[in-house]
Amino acid sequence: MACLVSRSGRELQRYNNMGGRQVVGCIPYRYKEDIDGKMSNELEVLVVSSQKGRGLMFPKGGWELDESVEEAACRESLEEAGVLGIIESELGQWNFISKRYGIYYEGHMFPMFVKEQLDTWPEKNLRRRIWMTVAEAREVCQHWWMKEALDILVQRIVSSQQRKEDIALDDSLSF
pLDDT tens for 69-125 read 999 999 999 999 999 999 999 999 999 998 877 889 999 999 999 999 999 999 999
What are the domain boundaries of the chain? 22-173
| Residue 4 clears pLDDT 70, i.e. is over it | no
pLDDT at residue 2, as a whole number: 54
Q: What is the mean pLDDT of residues 37-46?
A: 87
The phi and psi torsions of 122 (rounded to 5 degrees) equal -55, -40
Identify the top-confidence range among 5-9, 31-35, 74-78.
Answer: 74-78
What pLDDT was estimated at residue 38? 79
CATH 3.30.70.1150 fits 22-173, yes or no: no
User: What is the rounded CA–CA span in Å between residue 4 and residue 91?
Assistant: 27
Predicted structure pTM score: 0.85
**9-22: pLDDT as tens digits:** 567 899 988 888 99
